[in-house]
Amino acid sequence: MRFKGLDLNLLAALDVLLECRSVSRAADVLNLSQPAVSAALGRLRTFFGDELLTTHGKRMYPTAYAEALMPQVRDCLRGVELMISSSTVFDPLTSQRTFRIIASDYVIVAAIVPLVARLVEIAPAVRLEMVLPNEVSIEHVAQGKADLLVTPQDFTSPELASELLYEERHVVAGWSENPVFKRPLTEEDVMSAGHVGVAMGNARLGVFSDKHFMMLGRDRRVEVTTASFTTVPWLLKDTMRLAVMHERLAETMSAWFPIAYAPLPFEIPLMRQMMQFHTTRRSDAGLAWLREELRNITT
């Protein structure tokens, strides 16, 4: 299909080329041969009258014109994607749609795993693609690269639409043989023990409980830091270390690991777990269905 002389299929190729900055990598992403992608780049150069990507050594770099063009290309593709996906009619029994969800491994355990089991009956051809949160998660939702971001309210973006998914308590978890769980847990028990902490992404971002420990003026002795919530039980087993854990995760993991958990001996606010999505997707019937199913699962 052409629009004012441009084959619109080339826009998708241009977006991938500008992101990958490599014909071979772009070919892998597009599932095309390298000659086909090279030919597409040649046609794009002819149409725009610009080299778009220039080679220096073994790497390719976008020209100044291509840098200016990049956000316009992405806005165009995002608009097309939103137009296609935002149908007012959605039948989960027959839909073959893929939803990309950005969520931590804790959310996957608490909400996505039970949803996946339910999809077998209510939406057998719907596919879910899970992506762990990182420093560009909000940007990816804004650009249409992800359908939904599930994140604590403390980390939401005012630029995206938000809805409450559920509220979560935090508990203290540890090895089931740790003697502190044989009696009511005290603040001294918690603060004198070594802890397992969690830091997310390449930037080692702190999590909800860390923020509120600082606000309370309490300084834990974190002896081990891991990149995911679901690895915490492995690091508690056979040790006297403790961890502050989401109650839903602690409940699930206690069925698989020898861990115990107890209420915090001091107050941390309930964590409000939010669903964020592009504001233009409010009328997307499929996305509305997904959000409602997640709410039903976690109620």
Domain's final residue, options 63, 85, 107: 85
pLDDT in tens, 153-184: 989 999 999 999 999 999 999 999 999 999 99
Note whether 250 and 290 are same-domain residues: no
Determine the pLDDT at residue 91: 92
Residue 22 falls within a domain, yes or no?
yes
Determine the pLDDT at residue 114: 94
Angstrom CA distances, 197 to 128, 166, 265, 288, stand at 29, 23, 18, 34
Note whether 106 and 148 are same-domain residues: yes
Contact 65, 52 (CB under 8 A): yes
DSSP string, 65-84: HHHHHHHHHHHHHHHHHHHH
Residue 14 falls within a domain, yes or no?
yes
pLDDT in tens, 173-232: 999 999 999 999 999 999 999 999 998 766 656 677 777 777 766 778 889 999 899 999
Count of structural domains within the chain: 3
Contact 93, 124 (CB under 8 A): yes
Q: Can you give the CATH number for the domain in which 142 is found?
A: 3.40.190.10
Joined tokens for residue 280? 């233009």
Note whether 256 and 277 are same-domain residues: no
Residue 213 falls within a domain, yes or no?
yes
Residue 92 falls within a domain, yes or no?
no
77/70 Cα distance (integer angstroms) = 11
Note whether 183 and 261 are same-domain residues: yes
Cα torsion 256, 262, 267, 272 to 10°: value is 20
Strand pairing class (271-277; 161-168): antiparallel
Note whether 12 and 55 are same-domain residues: yes
Residue 91 falls within a domain, yes or no?
no
Note whether 106 and 27 are same-domain residues: no
Has residue 2 got a pLDDT over 50? no
4/96 Cα distance (integer angstroms) = 32
Q: Can you give the CATH number for the domain in which 65 is found?
A: 1.10.10.10
Residue 9 falls within a domain, yes or no?
yes
The arithmetic mean of pLDDT across residues 109-131, rounded, is 94
Sheet holding 242-246, edge to edge: 221-226, 194-198, 242-246, 170-175, 259-263
Determine the pLDDT at residue 158: 94
The amino acid sitting at 128 is L
Domain's final residue, options 85, 109, 131: 85
Contact 185, 290 (CB under 8 A): no
Note whether 55 and 188 are same-domain residues: no
Q: What is the 3-state secondary structure (H, E, C) of 153-178?
A: HHHCCCCCEEEEEEEECEEEEEECCC
Domain's final residue, options 32, 58, 85: 85
pLDDT in tens, 64-81: 998 888 888 877 777 666
Determine the pLDDT at residue 1: 47
Instruction: Look up residue 88 and give its DSSP letter.
Output: S
Note whether 175 and 146 are same-domain residues: no
The amino acid sitting at 174 is G
Residue 153 falls within a domain, yes or no?
yes
Q: 151: domain range?
A: 98-167+272-298
Determine the 3-state secondary structure of 252 from DSSP.
helix
- What's the predicted TM-score (pTM) here? 0.71
Note whether 130 and 81 are same-domain residues: no
Residue 93 falls within a domain, yes or no?
no
